[in-house]
Amino acid sequence: MESVRPKGMIGMRHVALFVSDMEKSQHFYSEILGMCYEFVTPEGSVFLTNGGDCLALHHREGKGVTKGAVVHHIGFMLESKEAADLYHAYLVGHGVKIAEGLKLHRDGSYGFYAEDPDGVLVEIIYHPPITK
C-alpha cells in the first residue's frame, strides 16, 4: 500500500451538473455568467470554462442518473498525466473503489473516477486547458 500522498493536485476546479433544460443552462452559464465553450460531446454534454475552471453540463435523463441528482461528479485537477498515475495507485492502495479506470479522453485530459464513501463520483484528472 502506497502510504505517502502523491504531489501534483492543484485544486478542485471542476464540477459536473445534471441539468433539466440544456438550452437554458447553456444560456445561463455562457451568456449570463460569461463562460466559454470548450467542448461538446456527441451525446450532447457541454463543457464550459472561464479559463481557470471547468463546468460540465449533462442531460438529467442520461445513463446512471439517480432520481433527483444534481451533481454528476466533482473533479480534482492535477498538474500532469504522471500525477494521475500516482494518484490512481495511491487510491487503489488505500482500498478506494475505482469506478472507471485511467483513460485518455478525446480532449487530451487524462484521469479516472473513484467513489467517495457515499458513492459520489470523484474525478482525479489532468486537464491541459486548466493546468497550463
pLDDT, one tens digit per residue, over 72-93 is 888 889 999 999 999 999 999 9
pTM of the full predicted structure? Answer: 0.71
CATH number of 9-131: 3.10.180.10
51: confidence class by pLDDT, cuts 50, 70, 90: confident
Picking from 65-79, 91-105, 112-126, which range would have the lowest pLDDT averaged per residue?
Answer: 65-79
pLDDT at 68: 65
What is the distance between the alpha carbons of residues 51 and 19, in angstroms, rounded to a whole number? 22
Q: Which residue has cell 493536485?
A: 9
> Phi/psi zone of residue 11: left (φ > 0), alpha (ψ -120 to 50 degrees), beta?
left
CA atoms 111, 62, 118, 17: torsion sign: positive
| Domain residue extents for the chain | 9-131
pLDDT at 14 over 70: yes
Number of CB atoms found within 10 A of residue 3's CB: 7
| Residues ≥6 apart with Cβ < 8 Å to 34 | 50
Q: How far apart are CA 78 and CA 111, in angstroms?
A: 9
